[in-house]
Structure formats: structure tokens, C-alpha cells
Amino acid sequence: MRRVRYSVALLLTPLLAGCFASSSGSASGDSGAEGSRLRVALAFPPAENLSPYGADGTILSRLGVTEGLTALDANGAAAPALAESWRREGERTWEFRLREATFQDGSAVTPAAVAASLTRATEARPEPAALAGVGLTAKPAGKNGVRITTDEPDPVLPLRLSSPSLAVLSAKAYAAEDRVDVVGTGTGPFELTKVMGSTAATLDRYDEYWGGRAQAPGIDVKFIPDGSARTSALRTGQIDLAEAVPVAQAASLDKDVRAATATTRTTSLLLNSRSGPFQDARLRAAARAAVDTSVLAEDVYEGYADAGTGIYGPAVSWAEGKRTRPAGRAKAADPDGARITLATYDNRPELPEVAQVLKQQLEKAGFEVTLEVREYSRLESDALDGTFDAFVLARNTLVDTGDPVSVLASDYTCNGGYNLAQLCDKDVDRAVARAEDADDTADRQDAAMAAEAEILGTDTVVPLVHQRIITGVAPSVRGALLDPYERVLVGTGTRR
């Protein structure tokens, strides 16, 4: 197993300016009058029956249903959540002291329950991205402690445990062997009470939440993949919060209703290097040369994005000054009518337009392009299987663990769990391993950028834009959480 190590100092360095912003009010609970139920529109319907181990884990986190032992603060550091403190006992062992809390089914958050929940996460297949290449064992330690031992030294285990995919659930969640039931089994301020397939969900306030009673009595969620429909529902007063407002719709909202947040999300063109025409590095080089990213930033995103410069964008503040030019790129060949299938999803409404522009640019360069657009949940498995020749993806580079190196391991190495580019290159794997092994802050940053250069040199990924996310917030709403990491949206102080 690859040795995974991280630099504590790097991860404590602010990656983004400022803290999470709340809309028109405090994000913390207070003793004010009880508000009305929140009506929230999310862009991504559940793709995995709300399993916490994949992308659906972020849905649960954003809605305040689930929590881990730790949380990720605005500076990229681990903060207390279900664990109120922790200490390192050796190179491979940590002890986490639990706060007094209960699950939403009324059972106590005990060391045994936490250890069992984390053990189930380690057994999940595919494995959660936060555990990629990492083995750990969790056991109860006394009355209120959990001792976690990793197969290899992991200095930033507390940061890893902040991942939404490592949420702690009650024993009831695991009653069935083939699925995880998150209805009424989380620990957050809002309890999931009903799920209507992929269209809607109902959450009620969990009054015994350890962090204080939420001001909103509940949340009514609609999953609306169509961005225009989400915006229209906000504009006509049918909902209170709308995530991922399309840039084309932003102007239809009053300025005090739309909030743009700089994020660590990069939209990229991923080229399938395992099968199809893009097995040929020369054709990948031709595709990369055909793309004009400035057109995308200025026209498609209407200024709510910067032209792509790398896997990491401007929000990772140290990256630009350490970026190195990719070396060893193949010389572009004439596509000569090579047929490719370009796919993307419409949950983020700019992506089909991005794909259409790319289609035109690639065809001008000599490719013959078929465009395929579906809802994300209906194409994820095909994308992971390498069905498409090219894929347009909007990816938050820090969402899984808060560590900028993690996305390199999960998305671009031979054993990566989210390797849509199907990349398997020994030089890339070695470069990523060196980045994972670096302890010193400056060395780790240098190694991460060297790995980025190695990946970009394969031309399997073409960074397109670094985007800002627009959230629609009704004037009546207070305390909406505008999180640059896109892990939270509502909290105890979110109300209307």
C-alpha cells in the first residue's frame, strides 16, 4: 500500500480569503422567534440512494443531516464536530474524545457506535474517496473515546475525518446489509424523515441536536436538475434557496438575491486515455490545442469564472506562484475526422453550453463529435467505466478531504476511484506519491505542482475554467451558508 502522509502546516494555511459567508444574518443559532420551514432547491438528485459513501454524502452534509467526527473550517483546517478534541498517540494512532450527543433515532453517540460506523465506511465498495489508499481501524477507547489506527502514518487524519463520506450514523442505519439507511439516523440539526425518490425530500428539525436548536422547524427539498426551473422557482417565491443558479439566469434575479462565491471548483475536459481515439497522445494534444478557454470564461460564464490555468484555480492561493510548465507533451496530429463522443450533464446548466462550444472548436480542428447530455445520476456509471471519449466535468478539488493532493490521487492515478480520464501513467503515479509523502509545507506544495505538471503533460485533462458558484437566496432568508468548499448550505441559524 502506498504510504500516505500529509503536511499539517500546509493544511492549516488559509487557502481562501475570509470565512464562510452567511446571507443577511448570523449563521449561528439564537433565541429569536421561530421561522417558517425552509424551501430548498438542489441541483443534483440522489445518484446512489443517498448513500453517504459517494457524491450523495455531500447532499446530506449540505442539508445539515449528517456530521463526521470533525468539520472543515474556512481555512482548510479540521475543526471539532462530534469529536470535541483529539490527540496523537503515536505515528499511526489517534484518540478522539466524543462530545455528548445523540443520534436522530434517540440512541446515544457512543464510542462503540462511532467505531462501528467508521468500520462500515472502510468496508464500502467502491471505497469513499476520503479513504483512497488509506487503511484504518476504529475501536472504542474508554467511556467517551475512539482510538483510530491507520496502516501507515497519517498526520492529518482529523482533516480526513471531516469528509461528508465519513459521516457517523446510528446502528439502525446499517440494519440492511446491502444499503445504508440515512432516514432518522444522522446527528445533524435536521432529520431526514421522508425521501420521494429523486424528486423531493422532507427534513424536520432535530430538537436534541448537540449544537443547539435550529431556528427553522424543517426543510422541504426539491431536486430540480434544470437550472432555469430552479431559478424560476426562486424568482416566483416557490423556494427560498436555490443552489447553482445558471449564469445565464443570474441577471433575472435582483442583486440582493444572487450571491456569487469563489470556490475551489474547476471545470475541465477529460480525455479517455484507455480506449478510443484519445489513446493516442497526439490526438489528445490536438484536442487540447483546439480549445480556447478564454471564450468559455467570458461568454459562457459571463465573467463568473476565470480561464483555466491548471487543476488548481485561483482559490488555492499558493498554486499560481509554484505552477511549472508541463513537459514531454506529444506533438499534435491531424485528427482527420476521428470520431469521438463528448458527454456532460445538465445539473450544472453551463456545462451543456460549454460542451457545445467545445464541440464546435473540436470539429473546427478536424474531429467528428457526437454530443451526449444527461442528468448526472444517469451517466456517472458510464463515465466511470470509460464509455465516453471525452467528458466535461465540474470538480471541486478540495471537497473530499480538504487536501489539494487528494484529488490528484483519486482522479489521475491508476488506482484512483474517480479516474474519469482512465489515466494510468507510471510517471504520474510516482509524482503523486511524492506529493503525498511530503511533510514540509513548501516541499509539499512544490511536489503537488510538479504532479499537476506531470498530469497536464499527458493531455488527459484540459482545465477550462475556475468558476464562481451563484446561490439564489430569497430576501426573507437569514443565515444561508455560502461555503467555498460546497459542503454546507443550511445550519442552525438558517431561517426565514
Dump pLDDT digits (tens) for 221-245.
999 999 999 999 999 999 999 998 9
Residue with cell 513537459: 327
- Examine the pLDDT at 15 and tell me if it is beyond 70: no
Query: Is pLDDT larger for residue 484 or for residue 300?
Result: 300
The domain spans of the chain are 8-223+474-482, 262-468
- Average pLDDT estimate for 380-387: 95
Superfamily of domain 262-468: Dipeptide-binding Protein; Domain 3 (3.10.105.10)
Confidence of residue 437 (pLDDT cuts 50, 70, 90): confident
Dump pLDDT digits (tens) for 18-39.
345 566 544 444 434 467 999 9
Dump pLDDT digits (tens) for 241-295.
999 898 889 989 998 999 988 788 899 999 999 999 999 999 999 999 999 998 9
Residue 323, sorted as left (phi over 0), alpha (psi -120 to 50) or beta, turns out to be beta
- Average pLDDT estimate for 296-302: 89
Dump pLDDT digits (tens) for 81-107.
999 999 999 889 999 999 999 999 999
pLDDT for res 24: 52
pLDDT for res 215: 96
pLDDT for res 34: 65
pLDDT above 70 as % of the chain: 92
Average pLDDT of the residues of the chain? 89
pLDDT for res 276: 97
- Examine the pLDDT at 126 and tell me if it is beyond 90: no
Q: How close are the terminal C-alpha atoms of the chain, in Å?
A: 50
CATH number of 8-223+474-482: 3.40.190.10
Confidence of residue 2 (pLDDT cuts 50, 70, 90): very low
pLDDT for res 23: 61
- Examine the pLDDT at 458 and tell me if it is beyond 80: yes
pLDDT for res 29: 42
Confidence of residue 439 (pLDDT cuts 50, 70, 90): low
pLDDT above 90 as % of the chain: 67
Dump pLDDT digits (tens) for 209-223.
999 999 999 999 999
pLDDT for res 115: 98
The reply to whether 8-223+474-482 and 262-468 are identical in fold is: no
- Examine the pLDDT at 412 and tell me if it is beyond 50: yes
pLDDT for res 320: 82
Confidence of residue 63 (pLDDT cuts 50, 70, 90): very high
- Examine the pLDDT at 149 and tell me if it is beyond 90: yes
Question: Burial letters for 316-330: b for 16+ Cβ neighbours within 10 Å, e otherwise?
Answer: bebbeebbeebeebb
3-state secondary structure string across the chain: CCCCCCCHHHHHCCCCCCCCEEECCCCCCCCCCCCCCEEEEECCCCCCCCCCCCCHHHHHHHCCCCCCCEEECCCCCEEECCEEEEEECCCCEEEEEECCCECCCCCECCHHHHHHHHHHHHHCCCCCHHHCCCCEEEEEECCCEEEEEECCCCCCHHHHCCCHHHCCCCHHHHCCCCCCCCCCCCCCCEEEEEEECCCEEEEEECCCCCCCCCCCCEEEEEECCCHHHHHHHHHCCCCCEECCCCHHHHCCCCCCCEEEEEEEEEEEEEECCCCCHHHCHHHHHHHHHHCCHHHHHHHHCCCCEEECCCCCCCCCCCHHHHCCCCCCCCCCCCCCCCEEEEEEECCCCHHHHHHHHHHHHHHHHCCEEEEEEECHHHCHHHHHCCCCCEEEEEEECCCCCCCCCHHHHHHHCCCCCCCCCCCCCHHHHHHHHHHHHCCCHHHHHHHHHHHHHHHHHCCCEEEEEEEEEEEEECCCCECEEECCCCCCCCCCCCEC
pLDDT for res 440: 65
